[in-house]
Amino acid sequence: MAPLILVLFFIQDTAILFNISILFLLFSNTFVFQAGLGNPVFQKFKGTALLTAVFFAPSIFLHVWVIT
């Protein structure tokens, strides 16, 4: 059972990191970002990026706590 949980935790954390990287890749594909005005893009999606980071940190903590 423990190896299965470890694999599922790894998949979940990898998916969250993949989500963050896709979010920033989508930022870089916008015309506003390519024109050098990245700040408005980050301001508009600050909540999304912050929520993902806030979800990722406790998720890692919980996974480490459950495994140990």
Residue range 11-45, pLDDT digits in tens:
999 999 999 899 889 888 888 888 888 888 888 88
* Position 59 confidence tier, pLDDT thresholds 50, 70, 90: very high
Residue 19 lies in a domain: no
Residue 53 lies in a domain: yes
Residue 21 lies in a domain: no
Nearest 5°: phi and psi at 11? -65, -40
Long-range contacts (CB closer than 8 Å, 24 or more residues apart) made by 44-49: 48/23, 49/20, 49/23
Q: Which domain holds residue 62?
A: 38-68
Distance CA 16, CA 53 (A): 9
Provide the domain count of the chain: 1
Residue 50 lies in a domain: yes
Residue type at position 60 = I
Residue 54 lies in a domain: yes
